[in-house]
Structure 1
Amino acid sequence: MRYHFCPKCGGALSIEETMDINKPKCTKCSFIFFQNPAVGVAAILIRDRKVLMGRRTGSYKGLWCIPCGYVEYTEDVREALIREMKEETGLDFDLREVFAVHSNFHNPNQHTVGLWFLAEAEGAPMPMDDLDQVRFFSWEEINTPEIVLAFPTDALVLKKLKDQKLID
Structure 2
Amino acid sequence: MRYPGVGVAVIVRDGAGRVLLGRRAAGRRAGLWCIPCGRLEWGEDVREAAIREFREETGLIVVLDGVYEVHSNFHDADRLTVGIWFSGRVVGEAGQEVDGELCEVGWFDPAQPPELAFPTDGLVLRRLAMEGQGQ
1: CA distance between counterparts of 2:17 and 2:32? 22
Distance 2:47 2:37 in 1: 12
Aligned residue for 1:16?
Answer: none
The 3 A distance-change label for structure 1 pair 61 and 123 is same
State the structure with more CA Rg. 1
- Alpha-carbon offset, residue 141 of structure 1: 3.9
Structure number with the bigger relative contact order (C-alpha 8 A, sep ≥ 6) is 2
SS for the counterpart of 1:149 is: coil
Residue of structure 1 in register with 2:21 after alignment: 53
State the distance in 2 between where 1:88 and 1:115 align.
17
What are the within-5 Å matches in structure 2 for residues 99-114 of structure 1? 99-114=68-83
Residue 130 (structure 1) aligned with residue 101 (structure 2): yes
Structure 2 Cα separation of the partners of residues 166 and 40 of structure 1:
28
The number of residues matched between the two structures is 131
Q: Name which of 123, 126, 134 aligns with 1:159.
A: 126
Q: 2:86 aligns with which of 92, 117, 134?
A: 117
Residue 37 of structure 2 is aligned to residue 68 of structure 1: yes
For structure 1, the residue ranges without an aligned partner over 5 or more in a row are 1-22, 24-34
Higher strand share: 2
Deviations along 1:9-60, whole A, 9 cap, x unmatched? xxxxxxxxxxxxxx3xxxxxxxxxxx11000000000002100000001221
Matches of 2:90 and 2:133 in 1, distance apart? 16
Residue identity opposite 1:139 in structure 2? P
* Distance change (3 Å), C-alpha of 1:140 and 1:155: closer
Q: Give distance in 2, aligned partners of 1:103 and 1:120.
A: 24
Structure 2, unmatched stretches of 5+, are none
Counterpart residue identity of residue 82, structure 1: I
> Runs of 4+ in structure 1 displaced over 6 angstroms?
124-127
1:94 and 2:59 correspond? no
Superposed CA deviations along residues 129-156 of structure 1, whole A, max 9, x for unmatched, are 20000001013541xxxx2100000000
Give percent identity, aligned residues only: 47
* TM-score relative to the length of structure 1: 0.72
Letter in 2 for 1:161: L
Task: Name the aligned partner's letter for residue 107 of structure 1.
Answer: D
Q: CA offsets, 1:54-78, max 9 Å, x none?
A: 0001221000000000000110000
